[in-house]
């Protein structure tokens, strides 16, 4: 049987919520399960936030950018190492990305490079219209420093927290509560899932109200269909939200298990040339995926040989995200950094990290990696 990188892990509680939605006939996009799911996430996150359930994380980012006033030819500064869905909304709006490297200390956006570029941009009267940092592989960005920069330069900070629900920073503040808005993803491979879906989280009620309006085709109050602007069919299904209600009850268990999986990998593979994603002080990563790098100069084996050795045994692993500035779509886009993210892509590997993975399955993965490393 194939071992996936991160497959959905149902708790068994989801069926009751889905059954209730069917029983009440709320199978359309809106309904009490969606209201309850938004409240459950808001209660979990704390911080007096407003949550808007949407069809995907990309939809959430698209709405956040539009509400923040981003339009054609506006420049948005964004993490280069991220999933494409965390950048494509810029294309939807005709905006231009400026991509940023990662810090070796956290594997998230390098705030020192960002600060230097902001000083330079201010002196040249070309400050960005928004900054979109990515919580990578379940780990928070340095949100305190980013929020300080946003306040100093009056630039919205829209945090891509698609991979970090259940994680925390600053000694306990939940990922998803940072910046002017944050986005979450409940895609099938995330730490909890609604089969597909996302969420916009913001402390600003006016932003949440705008997101609800735009996500339901921007219908003005009227007995007929009246539209003063265009909108989208972006609302999360009530049925999908019912699944999310069951998933939220086991979120902390899922985080605990994934952190255990990371610790077992790190203990077993603590070898010269193997480096795991660091966890800065005050940060508690969800360890959505266990990520490491393999330095072929030290190990004698490159990442691809390990990946293929696992694949031959029907075990899925994957290179780290290919930085967006290296993608054909964004050829010619401005990149600020020293190429640390390029090194991570060249040598990095995501290991199977699903919370339903057994110790025996993980032991097999570890044995195959050790064998591949020893083969050369």
For the stretch 252-290, pLDDT in tens is 999 999 999 999 999 999 999 999 999 999 999 999 999
- What residue numbers bound the domain in which 349 lies? 251-375
Domain end among 232, 248, 264: 248
Together in a domain, 73 and 194: yes
Together in a domain, 212 and 198: yes
Together in a domain, 43 and 70: yes
Together in a domain, 242 and 255: no
pLDDT for position 146: 98
pLDDT for position 376: 65
Angle at 98 (CA atoms; ends 92, 101), nearest 5 degrees:
125
Instruction: Tell me the C-alpha distance between 63 and 328, whole Å.
Output: 25
Is 111:249 a contact under the CB 8 Å cutoff? no
Q: What is the CA radius of gyration of the chain?
A: 21
Residue 174 is encoded by which pair of tokens? 């939940």
Together in a domain, 337 and 369: yes
Number of domains in the chain: 2
Nearest by Cα to 20 from 194, 245, 250, 247: 245
CATH number of the domain to which 59 belongs:
3.40.640.10
Is 131:369 a contact under the CB 8 Å cutoff? no
Residue 353 is encoded by which pair of tokens? 């990290």
Together in a domain, 226 and 244: yes
pLDDT for position 213: 97
Residue 167 is encoded by which pair of tokens? 């994680």
Together in a domain, 151 and 203: yes
Burial class of residue 184 in the structure, from the number of CB atoms within 10 Å of its CB (0-12 exposed, 13-18 middle, 19+ buried):
buried
| SS3 state of residue 294 | strand
Together in a domain, 209 and 264: no
Domain end among 248, 274, 290: 248
Which runs of consecutive H residues, i.e. helices, occur in the chain?
14-23, 32-45, 57-67, 88-93, 111-123, 143-153, 205-215, 238-248, 251-268, 296-299, 303-311, 340-347, 359-375
In eight-state DSSP terms, residue 235 is B
CATH number of the domain to which 320 belongs:
3.90.1150.10
**Is residue 307 domain-resident?**
yes
Domain end among 192, 215, 248: 248
**Is residue 19 domain-resident?**
yes
Is 301:375 a contact under the CB 8 Å cutoff? yes
**Is residue 8 domain-resident?**
no
Residues of the chain with pLDDT below 50 are: none
Angle at 234 (CA atoms; ends 228, 240), nearest 5 degrees:
145
Together in a domain, 244 and 257: no
Is 192:207 a contact under the CB 8 Å cutoff? no
Instruction: Tell me the C-alpha distance between 199 and 59, whole Å.
Output: 8
**Is residue 9 domain-resident?**
no
- Measured over the CA atoms of residue 115, residue 207, residue 197 and residue 85, the dihedral's sign is negative
Together in a domain, 244 and 150: yes
Together in a domain, 296 and 244: no
Together in a domain, 212 and 334: no
């Amino acid at each position: 049987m194939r071992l996936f990188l991160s497959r959905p892990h149902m708790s068994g509680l989801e069926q009751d919520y889905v059954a209730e939605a069917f029983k009440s006939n709320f199978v359309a996009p809106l309904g009490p399960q969606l209201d309850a799911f938004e409240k459950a996430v808001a209660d979990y996150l704390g911080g007096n936030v407003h949550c808007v359930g949407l069809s995907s994380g990309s939809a959430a980012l698209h709405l956040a950018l539009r509400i923040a006033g981003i339009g054609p030819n506006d420049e948005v500064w964004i993490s280069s190492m991220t999933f494409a869905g965390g950048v494509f909304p810029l294309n939807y709006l005709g905006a231009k990305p400026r991509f940023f490297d990662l810090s070796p200390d956290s594997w998230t956006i390098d705030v020192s490079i960002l600060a230097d570029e902001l000083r330079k941009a201010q002196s040249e009267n070309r400050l960005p219209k928004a900054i979109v940092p990515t919580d990578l592989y379940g780990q928070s960005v340095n949100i305190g420093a980013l929020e300080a920069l946003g306040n100093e330069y009056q630039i919205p900070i829209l945090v891509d927290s698609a991979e970090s629900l259940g994680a925390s920073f600053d000694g306990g503040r939940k990922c998803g509560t940072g910046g002017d808005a944050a986005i979450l993803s409940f895609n099938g491979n995330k730490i909890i899932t609604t089969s597909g879906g996302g969420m916009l989280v913001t402390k600003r009620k006016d932003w949440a109200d705008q997101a609800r309006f735009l996500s339901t085709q921007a219908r003005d109050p009227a007995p007929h269909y009246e539209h003063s602007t265009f909108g989208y069919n972006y609302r999360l299904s009530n049925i999908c939200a019912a699944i999310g209600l069951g998933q939220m009850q086991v979120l902390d268990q899922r985080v605990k298990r994934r952190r255990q999986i990371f610790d077992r990998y790190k203990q077993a593979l603590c070898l010269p040339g193997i480096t795991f994603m660091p966890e800065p002080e005050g940060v508690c990563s969800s360890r959505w995926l266990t990520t490491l790098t393999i330095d072929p100069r030290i190990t004698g084996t490159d990442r691809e040989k390990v990946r293929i050795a696992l694949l031959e045994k029907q075990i899925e692993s994957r290179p780290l995200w290919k930085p967006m500035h290296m993608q054909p779509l964004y050829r010619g886009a401005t990149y600020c950094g020293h190429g640390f993210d390029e090194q991570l892509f060249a040598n990095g590997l995501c290991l199977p990290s699903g919370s339903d993975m057994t110790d025996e399955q993980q032991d097999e993965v570890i044995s195959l990696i050790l064998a591949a490393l020893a083969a050369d």
